[in-house]
Amino acid sequence: MKKILMSLMLLSTLLMSQFGMAAADLEVNTPAISAIKTSMQARHARLAPYYANGAVGLTNDGLIAVKDANAVPLSERAVLTGLVKEENTDRNKLYKEIAQANGHPEWEAEIQNTFASRWIDKAQSGWWVQGAGGWIKK
Amino acid sequence: MKNWILAVALVCVIPACVTINIYFPAAAAEKAADKIIDDVWQLKNGGSKPAEPATESATEQ
C-alpha cells in the first residue's frame, strides 16, 4: 500500500513538473537582449522604407536580405547593404542570447525558426517575405 | 505486485526527466518572439494612431 502511494506521488510529481514547464516563459529581459533590441529598434526606422519598396525582404530563416537592389538609387546601395548586414548580425546575436539566457544554447536554431515565422506573420502588407517557393509580396 | 507498480512508475518518470530537459517550449518561444517583434517594430505603442482631428468641418465658415 505504501509503495502504491509512493508511485502515485511520483506520477503526480511528474505530471506537475510537465505542466510547470509548459507554462514557463522564456527569459528575454537580460541587459544583453535589451541592448540588441534597442539597436534593432533604432535601425528599423531606416530599414522600413526598404521593406516597403521591396529593396529588402524577410527571409524564411529569421534574417533579412537585399531582394531588389534596383529599387534604390545607386548612391544608397552601400548604405542599404550595410544596414542589412548590421541587422543580420543583431538578429543572430539576439537568437543566441535568448538561448543562452535560458540555459539552453542548443535552442538557438529553434528560437531562430520561431522568430522566422513570427517576423513574416507580423510583416506589413506590401512587404516581401520569403516563402518555400521564393519571394512573396504580403 | 506492488514492486511492479513502483517499477512501472519509475520507468515512466526517469525518461520523462530527460525529456523535460531537452523539451523546447515552443509556445513560450512564440510569445517571447511576439513581444520582441512588437518592441522592435513598435507595433503596440499607440503611435499607430496619427490623432487626426478629421471631424472639424462644423467650425468652418
Predicted TM-score of the model (pTM): 0.73
B4: CB partners within 8 A, 6+ apart:
none
B44–A contact, CB cutoff 8 A: no
Contact A25 B32 (CB under 8 A): yes
A18–B contact, CB cutoff 8 A: yes
Of B2, B6, B24, the CB nearest to A110: B24
Least confident of A40-44, A124-128, B2-6: B2-6
pLDDT in tens, A73-88: 999 999 999 999 999 9
B12–A contact, CB cutoff 8 A: yes
A110–B contact, CB cutoff 8 A: yes
Please state, for a pLDDT cut of 70, what percent of chain A lies above it: 86
With CA atoms as reference, report the closest residue to A135 among A49, A57, A51. A57
Compare all CA atoms of chain A with the CA of B8 and give the residue at the minimum distance: A7
d(CA B27, CA B25): 6
d(CA B60, CA B17): 73
Q: What are phi and psi of A84, to 5 degrees?
A: -60, -40
**pLDDT for the residue numbered B61:** 45
Contact A110 B29 (CB under 8 A): yes
Which residues of chain B have a pLDDT value below 70? Answer: 1, 14-22, 45-61
DSSP-derived letter for residue A102 is T
Contact B43 A111 (CB under 8 A): no
**pLDDT for the residue numbered B16:** 66
Q: What Cα–Cα distance (Å) separates residue A116 from each residue in A59, A120, B29, B47?
A: 7, 6, 12, 25
A84–B contact, CB cutoff 8 A: no
